[in-house]
A and B are shown apart, each in its own frame.
Chain A
Amino acid sequence: DAGITQSPRYKITETGRQVTLMCHQTWSHSYMFWYRQDLGHGLRLIYYSAAADITDKGEVPDGYVVSRSKTENFPLTLESATRSQTSVYFCASSEVGSTGWYQPQHFGDGTRLSIL
Chain B
Amino acid sequence: QKEVEQNSGPLSVPEGAIASLNCTYSDRGSQSFFWYRQYSGKSPELIMFIYSNGDKEDGRFTAQLNKASQYVSLLIRDSQPSDSATYLCAVNRPSGAGSYQLTFGKGTKLSVIP
* Chain A residues packing against B (C-beta within 8 Å): 40-43, 45, 90, 94, 96, 99-102, 104-110
> Which of A40, A94, A109 has a CB less than 8 Å from the CB of B42?
A109
Q: How many Å lie between the Cα of A45 and that of B3 in the bound state?
A: 14
Query: What are 9 contact pairs spanning A and B, CB under 8 A?
Result: A42-B105, A42-B107, A43-B88, A43-B104, A101-B32, A101-B100, A104-B34, A104-B49, A108-B43
**A41 with B106: CB separation less than 8 A:** yes
**B99 with A100: CB separation less than 8 A:** yes
In the complex, what residues of A have CB within 8 A of residue B57's CB? Answer: none
Q: How many Å lie between the Cα of A106 and that of B46 in the bound state?
A: 7
Tier of interface size on chain B: 20 to 34
In the complex, what residues of B have CB within 8 A of residue A106's CB? Answer: 46
In the complex, what residues of B have CB within 8 A of residue A101's CB? Answer: 31-32, 51, 92, 100
In the complex, what residues of B have CB within 8 A of residue A41's CB? Answer: 106
Q: Which residues between 1 and 57 of chain B lie within 8 Å of chain A, taking CB atoms?
A: 31-32, 34, 42-46, 49, 51
Nearest CB in chain B: distance from A27 CB, A: 13
Is B113 located at the chain interface by the 8 A CB criterion? no
Known: A41-B106, A42-B88. A104 touches B100 (CB 8 A): no
In the complex, what residues of B have CB within 8 A of residue A94's CB? Answer: 102
Q: How many Å lie between the Cα of A99 and that of B101 in the bound state?
A: 13
**A102 with B104: CB separation less than 8 A:** no
**A107 with B44: CB separation less than 8 A:** yes
In the complex, what residues of A have CB within 8 A of residue B88's CB? Answer: 42-43
In the complex, what residues of A have CB within 8 A of residue B98's CB? Answer: 100
Q: Which residues between 42 and 75 of chain B lie within 8 Å of chain A, taking CB atoms?
A: 42-46, 49, 51
**A102 with B105: CB separation less than 8 A:** no
Known: A101-B31, A101-B32. A43 touches B100 (CB 8 A): no
